[in-house]
Structure 1
Amino acid sequence: MTGRFAWLRRNGPAVFGVALLAGAIYVVQKEFRDLSVADIRKAMDAIPPVALWLAAGWTVLAYLVLAIYDKLGSIYAGRPVSWPKSFLASFCGYSLAHNLGFAAVSGAAVRYRLYSAWGLTPLEIAKVVGFTSLTFGLGGMALGGLVLVFEPEVVPWFGSHVPRWVLQACALPLWGIVGTYIVLSRFKQHIRVFGHQLDLPGPRMALMQTALATVDVAVTAAIFYTLLPAAEGLTFLRFLGIYLASYTAGIAAHVPGGLGVFDGAILIGLQPYMPAPEVIGALLVFRLYYYIVPLFISGALFVGFELGQRRAILDRVTALGRGSETLEVPAIASLVALAGALLIFLGALPIRGTIIEEWAGHMAALASHFAASVVGSLLLVMAYGLLRRLTMAWALTLFLLLNGAAIAWVRGEAWWLWAAFLLLAGLVAALRGAFYRDSRLVREPLSPQALVPLLAVALCGITLALVAYGGRVSDASWWEVVFSEIAPDSLRFTVGLTGVLLLIGMVRLLRPARFRPLDWDAGTRARLAALGAMAPAEADGAVLGEGEKAGFAFLRRDGVWLALGDPAGERRDAISAIWRFRDLCERAGVDPAFWRVGQDYLRVYADIGLHAVALRQEGAPCYLAMRAERDLESLRPLLPAELRRAAEPARSRAA
């Protein structure tokens, strides 16, 4: 039972997120079934210019409010920074995290890079990160309670099946949490939450947090609301409830930008008030304003900041690649996932006069329609492989993106749509050097463990192709066939099972082989010593690279496994050992960390989402690489004395 609970704790959020994403894709495809790109474009053209300008103004105000988060956070940490620095940290942190959502470029990671350059200690940065994270939650709970009191009917399903007073009573725990936080800030300095110490601000700061977060959520919702046409019964407060529920679902799914989940929830919530094309048109403009445009601006600012940190001429020449090295792959992976989602939605649109239909007949056109959702599904899997720097994922992504461009072209879509797939393929091709890991298929001999998923992928692809070329449901995507009422049960089962096996098989082929760490004994110590690695008398195990030509020892700590030094041995195998350790920690539900490492592998540590904190200021550089936003408190004793003293909690609270 304990093992099952541990598995659920580690994988429950991911399983829940996948379930939400699958449900959202089904909802969106169902809504798209009777739409066309022309319908959506017409709805977007109908948005008045005044609404566009107002939405742009609300967007600027929303990011200015977020900058106040960071300003108050630095005051709370006892190291206030200037307003321009607060805005840079907030804008880059939030816009990158909103769109990418991966560990290496999360809001916390970006803030650590910026604030550390401005002289803040790791604990002070951790306080800023914690403050900004908590602030948004306070605003969401405060406004959520307000919506439940005055507009409880907006809650999906529950609004029409649960008594009104019951839903209104649900506001009490939300307001209770906010009120408890404010009251505790008056009487206590520190509290422990889930084993972590939280330093509380003063009551004035707590009130400012709550008010600021409430304004932030309301202003962000106003961007979307301004873009919607007037609809009877859709007040701003009612829309706010729909927006909060949709945004919360997007966060729970752990999908960058809530892609698909947020959109599906918004479509369901607004269905009683307006047609789907008007919702989708406003949704696309909202994403452009609040997500896409800020992403490009913040990316440029972040790279510019990295360039500004390097003074030497040679460094300036090469800084662009290094300054964006932890940003480039997650950004490309996010775009690949977005391309996959676009193809899935494209597969839900009806076919209306395609190029291939004129050349090869109606059945070939239907096949291109079916193929869009298959290729889109595979691109979602490839994004997973790209994040793990797999060469096989890089090659397959190129192949699938070219397929996506061909599918968009033969369907007669606008030129810029298939051109976007070609442009993304060019960007992926240019980053070949960023993908340096072998997958299970490439690294291992063709054993039964590798042969079975390979054959499954081949057979599933052939089966889905056969379905695409005939039958009453060949004009549907493979997702829709599973739920189709006109398809025979045997076909629905076959397509569903085949599609799932195809995705699982691709994930299995992309995943590195599972392994167990070496037990710590005299033989293991001798092997590490021969490689030149640390071989202390006491350790909890050792990890070797895939070629067993590099390795290191590690210690198990509560929530963190600590590697002792850089991997010693052949460089290529040392990189595989680092990633193996990362995969091992992920399966164990803990964070990886590396103690007393040099500069040689800092790029790789950054690739797996770790931050390097200097342990030695003089002589050869020495670092502690860790997930500082989560593990600083437990690993703080490993910091040098001067940094450890600077990281001690302040005795006085912010007023």
Structure 2
Amino acid sequence: MEFPTRRKIIKLIGLVITAFAVYFLHKEISQYNFADIRRSVGEISDYRLLLALFFTIINYAILTLNDGLALKYIGKKLHWTKVGFASFVSNTISFNLGMSLLTGGSTRYGIYSAYGLNTSETAKVLGFCNLTIWFGSAGILGVLLLSEPAGMIARIHLLEKWGKIPGFLLLIFVISAALLSWSGKSIKIRGEDISLPPLKYFIAQIMISAADYLCASMVLFSLLPNSDISIFHYTGCYVISVLLGGMSQVPGGLGVLDSTLMVTLSPWYSGTEMIGALLVYRVIYYLFPLCLSAVLMGGRQLISTCGDVKSATLSAGKEFIGIYPAILSLGVFASGAVLLFSGSTPGLPQRLAILDKFIPMDIIEISHFLSSLAGLFLLFLAQGIKRRLRVAWMLTIALMAAGIGFSVLKGLDYEEALILGVLLLPLMAARKNFDRESKLLSPGISFDRVMPAAVVLTSSAWLGYFSFRHSEYASLSILQFALSGKAPWFLRASVTLSAAALVLPLLKLFRVKPDISMVPTGTDIEKALNIAKSSPDASAFLALTGDKSFFFSPTGRSMICFAEEGPYWFVMGDLFGEGEEFRDLTWSFREKADMNGKKVVYYEVSERDLSLYIEQGLASVKIGENAKVPLADLSFEKGSEWHGQRHTLKKLDRDGSAFRILSDDEVKTVLPRLREISGQWLKSKQGHEKGFSLGFFSEEYISNFKIAVVERDGEIQAFANIWTSAGKNEVSPDMMRYMDNAPSDTMEFLFLNLMLWAKEERYAYFDLGMAPLSGVTGGLNGSLWGRTAEMLYEHGNTFYNFQGLRHYKEKYKPIWEPRYVAVPHELSLPAVLAAAAMLISKGPKGVRP
């Protein structure tokens, strides 16, 4: 029996919460008709609209202070315009998409990376901002609950009496945190040291968060009519609703936030007043900032396009450009939703009367249908925009332009035409970013891709049914309404389109699953060898171990080497080949994996291409640090710190041990001896060969490399095969093995001589490999993985000598470079690491010599 994964459980919980919220909204809204809600929206005065817009501007400005304070805390200085831009764009994305840690975090990474911050610094900024939200939420909610019970608590008489207890506990928590911050000390929780920013930062965080919630709540409050509700009670209801909406992980808290507010504020506001205010609130606080962020991104892209290409690239950065299609994708999806929702509702009688004088009614109804059809296509084209497909960009431009025309023809709906126009401009400015020629439907149809569109289409169909429910179609069910000849045909078409879209995922069951050859041909191996030889990364030679498959770019000059384990395709290390081909290569590989029902994982990758993985929605998690020793100034001849190394070199040299590099002809003749040494070494270690991220003994494999040996009395006692990169950038030893009867320190003798040989050959670096979990930090702001990894690094020496390996490599004064694993979601990390361990061990039995 297959149990659901944690990710599926979280999706299910969010779906259940949303389903309950939607059911409640349906039940509440069913009491009214469309005319009542439209009247409620029309009764909101211009003054209240301007006041709501004012509080929205102030709220986003306050959120900018949060990013600025975080940057000051980590010691980074950026111009206030850059901070404001990063804060505004990332917050609008996280507010609209939900899952703020993932969506807002990846957006901040893309922008701040372009401004010179590394991954660790961006993570600290994100952690600081999230800490502000958590402590601020606890503080303001505690104060409000102590003032008077709010929200759901006030609706339950038993809790109304005791409702101040949660407020008291929340304030105790915040005060305790403030005392810890003031003391400058840390506390141990489950063996971890927890510390907070200094008190002045802590107080500033609380003030920023309180001002944020107050201004955000005033946006909706400005749109509601006058009532006798106290501001404390209202704000408490709003904070509880926002927190529940955030916990649901539903984009924008849609349905959850709205239903909670309708329940908690029902004694003071009627249903139509709440629905009308919430609709306008969504437009002002969510949709308008989203459109503005897309325009700002488009303006920046247009400046980069019109200016000097080189300076624009340096200014924008690859990471910044990488997140742009994802933001435009969201805008395209929103455009499709606007067209569908508008097409499902009747037009304003005054505007229709004006159109009727100039345009036949058939043209108006056809425009309704074509507008809905364009909206449907835009929902699915949003994925193509995210994948940077040229054909998706061209179709989207055409459909959005047509949508503007249809919006005018079907009812003089200039508002939605304006929204489409605003989102169309940055899309047109980003033409150069859409250069991929992949097929639009190549990844196939999946539930994950169709579900958001299905939700919008179902809502659109329901909205159309609701809009006409109190008309002559009131006695019809939704199915009868869809099939009846009484309803206008554009409405029947909209419902039919919605039903058809819900059936689309079932088509996947009848698709023939594409395949990819997992066994490389001789030609593939030759191409991989040529790419590895031309790579500045010595680790490229891991491609030749024989346990990996290859995915090449169309030119054959770039490659991904990967292996399959369970539901994952594991990519080993960085991409190799021509850098300008990497973006298209990763997207093509992602699409191929989707076609085969697999998820992509990038294992032990550097920071170089992280933006490409984040662009695809993957989460990057640090798993250790790689050590590279600069060879230019390396010398063991002087300095007390090298006393042990000098002793080893002189001792084994006096005892008759000799180091040398074998010629190509010699390698062929000594292969049996090397196999004998390897077999004895494995036996003494009571282990077996590993794979994937490690080389293993194979005569065919090691024949590709230089072999270094230590001889004694003419007999080889130890050996190592050597990876050498192009341009003499770096050298890295792969397998290092020795006989049981070899003198002690033989391996260190081999290792030290290898470094001296690499320096003599004028290589720049000597790669010592990765120290697992090194440099992975936890703390209060860190992730669960970071805290677990830090604990394992400090206390897990029983299982693996993490600290000892780091200290051994540290004595050679290396440059430490972080290494990551890019996973589908951080929650999938345990499953990914378990599958990686199985892949490396090659199953329970491994590969026996």
CA contact (8 A) 1:377 1:503 kept: no
1:70 equivalent among 64, 67, 80: 67
Once the two structures are TM-superposed, the CA of residue 553 in structure 1 deviates from its matched residue by: 2.4
SS in 1 for 2:339: helix
> Is 1:251 the equivalent of 2:246?
yes
2:475 equivalent among 483, 486, 492: 486
1:66 aligned partner, one-letter code = L
SS in 1 for 2:560: strand
SS in 2 for 1:241: helix
> Is 1:125 the equivalent of 2:122?
yes
1:553 equivalent among 537, 540, 561: 561
> Aligned in 2, Cα 1:564/1:172: closer, same or farther, shift over 3 Å?
same
> Aligned in 2, Cα 1:337/1:86: closer, same or farther, shift over 3 Å?
closer
> Aligned in 2, Cα 1:257/1:327: closer, same or farther, shift over 3 Å?
farther
Once the two structures are TM-superposed, the CA of residue 566 in structure 1 deviates from its matched residue by: 1.6
> Is 1:608 the equivalent of 2:613?
no
**Distance between the aligned counterparts of 1:378 and 1:304, measured in 2?**
28
> Aligned in 2, Cα 1:596/1:334: closer, same or farther, shift over 3 Å?
closer
SS in 1 for 2:239: helix
CA contact (8 A) 2:325 2:386 kept: yes
Q: Which residue number in structure 2 is paired with residue 413 of structure 1?
A: 412
1:221 equivalent among 201, 217, 224: 217
Q: Which residue number in structure 1 is paired with residue 186 of structure 2?
A: 189
> Aligned in 2, Cα 1:360/1:391: closer, same or farther, shift over 3 Å?
same
Once the two structures are TM-superposed, the CA of residue 220 in structure 1 deviates from its matched residue by: 2.5
Q: Which residue number in structure 1 is paired with residue 151 of structure 2?
A: 154
SS in 1 for 2:332: helix
> Aligned in 2, Cα 1:521/1:319: closer, same or farther, shift over 3 Å?
closer
Once the two structures are TM-superposed, the CA of residue 594 in structure 1 deviates from its matched residue by: 7.1
> Aligned in 2, Cα 1:5/1:284: closer, same or farther, shift over 3 Å?
same
SS in 2 for 1:231: coil
Q: Which residue number in structure 1 is paired with residue 551 of structure 2?
A: 544
1:123 aligned partner, one-letter code = S
> Is 1:240 the equivalent of 2:235?
yes
CA contact (8 A) 2:98 2:250 kept: yes
Once the two structures are TM-superposed, the CA of residue 582 in structure 1 deviates from its matched residue by: 8.3
Deviations 1:491-528, CA, capped at 9 Å, x for gaps: 4899989735414527978xx99778876999898377
CA contact (8 A) 1:112 1:125 kept: yes
**Distance between the aligned counterparts of 1:523 and 1:191, measured in 2?**
57
CA contact (8 A) 2:18 2:256 kept: no
Q: Which residue number in structure 2 is paired with residue 138 of structure 1?
A: 135
CA contact (8 A) 2:298 2:427 kept: no
SS in 2 for 1:532: helix
**Distance between the aligned counterparts of 2:373 and 2:236, measured in 1?**
35
Q: TM-score, normalised on structure 2?
A: 0.54
1:553 aligned partner, one-letter code = C
**Distance between the aligned counterparts of 1:136 and 1:44, measured in 2?**
32
CA contact (8 A) 1:329 1:386 kept: yes
Identity rate, percent: 19
TM alignment of 1:489-638, pairs within 5 A: 491=480, 499-503=498-502, 505=504, 526=525, 529=528, 532=531, 534-536=540-542, 541-542=548-549, 544=551, 551-554=559-562, 563-568=572-577, 575-578=584-587, 580-581=589-590, 592=602, 595=605, 604-605=612-613, 607-608=615-616
SS in 1 for 2:210: helix
> Aligned in 2, Cα 1:44/1:112: closer, same or farther, shift over 3 Å?
same
SS in 2 for 1:544: strand
Corresponding pairs, count: 608
**Distance between the aligned counterparts of 1:344 and 1:27, measured in 2?**
22
TM alignment of 1:32-431, pairs within 5 A: 33-35=34-36, 40-45=41-46, 47=48, 51=51, 56=54, 58-59=55-56, 61-74=58-71, 76-77=73-74, 79=75, 81=77, 84=80, 89-91=86-88, 93-95=90-92, 97-98=94-95, 106-109=103-106, 111-112=108-109, 122-148=119-145, 152=149, 154-155=151-152, 159=155, 163-165=159-161, 171=167, 178=174, 181-182=177-178, 189=186, 200-202=196-198, 205-206=201-202, 208-232=204-228, 234-252=229-247, 254=249, 257-258=252-253, 262=257, 266=261, 270=265, 272-274=268-270, 276=272, 280=276, 284=280, 288=284, 292=288, 296=292, 300=296, 314-316=309-311, 325-347=321-343, 349-353=345-349, 354=352, 376=375, 379-391=378-390, 393-394=392-393, 397-398=396-397, 400-402=399-401, 404-418=403-417, 420-421=419-420, 424-425=423-424, 428=427, 431=430
Moved more, 529-538 or 602-611: 602-611
Unaligned runs of 5+ in 2: 484-491, 533-539, 631-726, 731-764, 771-775, 794-805, 819-849
Unaligned runs of 5+ in 1: 646-655
CA contact (8 A) 1:391 1:435 kept: yes
CA contact (8 A) 1:246 1:261 kept: yes
Deviations 1:445-470, CA, capped at 9 Å, x for gaps: xxxx88x99xx9xxx9xxx9xx99xx
Deviations 1:144-179, CA, capped at 9 Å, x for gaps: 3444555546339x9358753476555567557646
**Distance between the aligned counterparts of 1:13 and 1:134, measured in 2?**
25
CA contact (8 A) 2:180 2:195 kept: no
Kindly indicate whether structure 1 or structure 2 has the higher relative contact order, using CA contacts under 8 Å at least 6 residues apart.
1
Once the two structures are TM-superposed, the CA of residue 350 in structure 1 deviates from its matched residue by: 3.5
**Distance between the aligned counterparts of 1:198 and 1:114, measured in 2?**
29
Deviations 1:181-240, CA, capped at 9 Å, x for gaps: 5566669637679x99865435665455344423332233234324433223x2222222
2:233 aligned partner, one-letter code = R
Q: CA RMSD in A?
A: 6.2
Once the two structures are TM-superposed, the CA of residue 579 in structure 1 deviates from its matched residue by: 5.0
CA contact (8 A) 1:103 1:109 kept: no
1:337 aligned partner, one-letter code = F
> Aligned in 2, Cα 1:91/1:364: closer, same or farther, shift over 3 Å?
closer
CA contact (8 A) 2:301 2:429 kept: no
Q: TM-score, normalised on structure 1?
A: 0.67
**Distance between the aligned counterparts of 1:145 and 1:530, measured in 2?**
64
**Distance between the aligned counterparts of 2:482 and 2:401, measured in 1?**
30
1 or 2, which has the higher helix percentage? 1
**Distance between the aligned counterparts of 2:478 and 2:114, measured in 1?**
61
2:408 aligned partner, one-letter code = W
Once the two structures are TM-superposed, the CA of residue 131 in structure 1 deviates from its matched residue by: 1.2
> Aligned in 2, Cα 1:159/1:553: closer, same or farther, shift over 3 Å?
farther
Moved more, 382-391 or 566-575: 566-575
Once the two structures are TM-superposed, the CA of residue 132 in structure 1 deviates from its matched residue by: 0.9
Higher-Rg member (1/2)? 2
CA contact (8 A) 2:468 2:474 kept: no
Deviations 1:224-265, CA, capped at 9 Å, x for gaps: 324433223x22222223322443354345566556765565
CA contact (8 A) 1:391 1:438 kept: yes
**Distance between the aligned counterparts of 2:435 and 2:99, measured in 1?**
19
2:246 aligned partner, one-letter code = I
CA contact (8 A) 1:385 1:393 kept: yes
Deviations 1:263-307, CA, capped at 9 Å, x for gaps: 565566555515646864686378547873597479649976998
Once the two structures are TM-superposed, the CA of residue 128 in structure 1 deviates from its matched residue by: 2.2
